[in-house]
Amino acid sequence: MQPGDEDLVALARNGDHKAFEELVERHKQKAYRIAFDFARDREEAKDLSQEAFLRAYSHLGNFDGRSGFYTWFYRILVNVCLDYKRRKKRTFAEEFNEAVENQVEPSQVSQKPPSPDQQVLARQLSRKIGAALEALPPKQRTAFILKNNQGLSIKEIAEMMQTAEGTVKVHLHRAVTALRQSLAEFA
């Protein structure tokens, strides 16, 4: 039987580097995907997830076990990603175009290429979505991305954001309402 995350944390705190490497192996894919949802750039996502693991390693002494390692680490990762977004202050135009394209089911893809009008409309919608998401307050944007792009539960998001589940629901509701208003012309 493999040791749990908390067992590996205890070993890592006592100087077992292999234990922390095992934690990295267990969580690196999901960390990368979350970082990619924020950065929309492969290299930036790698850097952000690595930075989060470095911060986690250097702050292992602060892990108190009140939440699982997974939750504690992803809180660090989300904060690293939010810091990145604040530093970059760039739009999501191309980023969400790619995300929307990647989320289309293969059965929904038509056999003929989109017309130039459809391509223009798709680019306009992508830019509008990016701008609408960028305009959201950081907590609403974070909750929306974690819920809709990562598929996390309300409970998981609440733990990561260190807030109540009801607060997460409010953030999500307000984000969806703001996005609907911003995108009403495309409905």
Classify domain 136-187 at the CATH class level: mainly alpha
For 1-90, CATH number? 1.10.1740.10
Q: What secondary structure letter does DSSP report for 115?
A: P
- Give Cα 111 distance to the centre of its chain: 32
Query: What pLDDT is recorded for position 32?
Result: 93
Residue intervals of the chain classified under CATH 1.10.10.10 are 136-187
Query: What pLDDT is recorded for position 187?
Result: 57
Query: What pLDDT is recorded for position 134?
Result: 78
Query: What pLDDT is recorded for position 114?
Result: 67
Tell me how far CA of residue 98 lies from CA of 20, 36, 41, 150, in angstroms. Answer: 33, 12, 11, 15
Query: What pLDDT is recorded for position 119?
Result: 74
Residue intervals of the chain classified under CATH 1.10.1740.10 are 1-90
Query: What pLDDT is recorded for position 38?
Result: 81
Cut 0.75: pTM above it: no
Q: Residue 16 and residue 25: Cα distance in Å, rounded?
A: 15
Task: Please give the structure tokens belonging to residue 67.
Answer: 């939440």
**Residue of 28, 145, 174 whose CA lies nearest to 84:** 145
Q: What is the pLDDT along the chain (187 residues), one digit of tens a residue?
A: 888 999 999 999 998 999 999 999 999 999 998 888 888 789 999 999 999 999 999 999 888 888 889 889 988 998 898 888 777 764 444 455 455 555 544 444 445 666 777 777 777 777 777 777 778 888 888 888 888 877 788 988 888 888 899 999 999 999 888 888 887 766 5
